[in-house]
Amino acid sequence: MIDRVFDILIKDGELIDGLGTPRYKSDLGIEKDKIVAIGQLSHAKARKTINAKNLIVSPGFIDVHTHDDNLIFHDRSMKPKTSQGVTSVIVGNCGISLAPLILNKDKVPPPPQDLLGDRESYIYPTFADYRTSIEKRPPATNVGFLAGHGTLRICSMTDTNRPAKSSEIDKMQYLLAESMNSGGMGISTGLIYGPNKSASLDEITAVTEVAADYDGIYTTHMRDEGEHINEAMEEAFLIGQRTSIPVIISHHKCMGKSNFGRSTDTLGRINHAKMMHTVGLDAYPYTAASTVIIPEMVAISERVIITWSDTHPDFSGHDLDYIANKMKCRKEEAAAALIPGGAIYFLMSESDVQNILKHPDTMIGSDGLPNDVHPHPRLWGTFPRVIGHYARDIGIFSLEEAIRKMTSLSASYFKIKKRGELTPGSYADVVLFDPTTIKDASTYENPKAPAIGIHKVIVNGQVVFDEGKTGHKRPGIPLLK
C-alpha cells in the first residue's frame, strides 16, 4: 500500500459523491480508468497531482438528453459539453437517431432528422456500424445511444403519415433488436414530429416491447406538452404499463400561457404513475424551447428566434418579429418560408421550470442542438446554470441535490453502471469546479460562450478539459446496455 503510485491524485478538494451525501474534505486517487481510493491520501505518490483546494470534486455530469449523434464525430473534443463538466452524453432522443438510416443521393433528411445534420451525415446502416465508428474514432465523452422510433419508421415504411402495418412493425422490431444487440439503451419517440406522429399506441407498444425484452428504457417527447398534456402523459404511462418498461418523460414542460401553472398537476400525475411502474423525467433550466421550425408553435410563443434556415441563412439569430417585418407578412408565414430551419420558442413560465427542476426524479438534460448556426444557449450552459443560478444564487435546492440530478440519478434511470458517483471501483469520470464562480455564460444573443468556473474534467482517468482548454485526449467509450 505504501508503494502505491496513483496515475492521478486529486488533493484537498471538497468531495460531493453524487449520491446526495453532504460534501466532505477528501483526496481521491485514480489508477487507469478507475477511482481506486477516497480519503486522506496526503502522503501518497502520484504521476500527476492536482491541487483541488477551494474546489468541488464531483462525478462527471451525464447529459441524458442530447442530439449529439453527429457532434461526437464532427467535434470529437466535445467542447460544448466538456466545458460544462459533462463526461457522458445520451444520443438518439426525441425519436431521432442517425442509425440505421441511409439516404440516397437525391434525398434530404426529412425534418426533424435534419437537425442532426445533412444527407452526408446518414452513413450508418446499422447500430453496430454506429457503435464501431465511436470505438474507432472516439470522442472525449462517453456515449450511450437510443434508437429513434421516427427513424425506424422512415426506414420501414413507404409513407409515415399513417399507422404502421404489421409487416412494417415487424421490420421496426427487427431494427430495434439489432440496436439492442449492439448495446443500445432503448427506444425514444418524438410524437409531435411528422415521421413519428401517426404512430398509434398499439404500434408504439408493439415496437417498444422489443426494448423491454432487452431490459431497455423508453424515453418520449410526448404527443402534446400544452393543452392536451394529460392525455399525452396517459399514453406514455400506458406504454410503460403494457410493456413493463421504465418511462422517461423528455424535457418536461407546460407550453403556452394558458397552460402556465399546470406543472403541479403534471408532477402529481408522475408521482401517481410511479406507484405502478418506473417513471422518470428530464428538464433543462430555461423558459424557452428549441426545435425545428414549426409554424403552429409561433402563436403560443411570446418571442421566437430563428436558429438556422436553409432558405434564408442570413436570418439565423434574428427575431421572427423582425423577419416578418422585413418580409412584410404574418409571423406564421415568415416561419413557413424559412423551413427547413430551426427556432427558439419562449413559451414556459419560470415557476413551472423551477417546480419541474425541483422534483426529486428530474434529471438534467440539455437538449442542446449542436448543428444549429445560432443555437439555444442550453447547448453550452445547462449544467453550470443549474449549479450556479438555480442551486447557489436562487437556492431552489442544495448543491449536493443539483449534482445528484446530473449524476447518480441519471445513471440509475439509464442503467449506466459504475458511473455517476465517486466511489472506489467506479470509472474515473470526475469534474473539478469552483462553487463560488461557476456560471453559464451563453445567452440568447451570444449562445456559444463557454461556461465559467469549470477547472478540470476527467473521462475514464484522462484529463479532457483543463483550465479552458480541450487538449487531444479522446477517451470516450460507448455506454453499452
Which parts of this chain interact with Zn ion (CB under 5 A)?
94, 221
Smallest gap from Cβ 116 to Zn ion, in A, equals 12
Q: Which is nearer to Zn ion, 156 or 291 (CB)?
A: 291
Closest to Zn ion by CB, 169 or 236: 236
Query: Which residues are paired to 433 by β-bridges?
Result: 56, 454
Distance of CA 134 to the CA centre of its chain: 18
User: By C-beta, is 66 or 142 nearer to Zn ion?
Assistant: 66
Q: How far is the CB of 94 from Zn ion (least distance, A)?
A: 3
Minimum Å distance from CB 169 to Zn ion?
A: 23
Phi first, then psi, for residue 295 (nearest 5°) are -55, -30
Nearer to Zn ion, 94 or 101 (CB): 94
Distance of closest approach, residue 192 Cβ to Zn ion, in angstroms: 8
Contact between 323 and 308 under an 8 Å Cβ cutoff? The reply is: no
DSSP helix/strand/coil, 433: strand
- In one-letter notation, the amino acid at residue 333 is E
Nearer to Zn ion, 251 or 405 (CB): 251
Give the 3-state secondary structure of residue 355. Answer: helix
Separation CA 375–CA 25 (nearest Å):
38
Cell reading at 57: 470534486
CB of 263 to Zn ion, least distance (A): 17
- Residues 6+ positions from 30 with CB-CB distance below 8 Å: 6, 7, 8, 9, 10, 36, 428, 430, 458, 461
Ramachandran angles phi, psi of 165, nearest 5° = -80, 170
Closest CA to 176 of 149, 203, 199: 149
For residue 300, the minimal CB distance to Zn ion (Å) is 16
Give the span between the Cα atoms of 380 and 442, in whole angstroms.
6
Nearest approach, Cβ of residue 250 and Zn ion (Å) = 5
Minimum CB distance to Zn ion smaller for 221 or for 223:
221
Q: Which residue has the cell 441519471?
A: 410
Maximum C-alpha span of the chain: 77
Give CA–CA dist 148/136, Å, rounded.
Answer: 23
CA distance 356 to 348: 11
Pick the closer one to Zn ion by CB: 50 or 94.
94
Minimum gap (Å) between residue 153 Cβ and Zn ion:
16
Q: Which is nearer to Zn ion, 367 or 429 (CB)?
A: 367
C-alpha cell at 192: 409531435
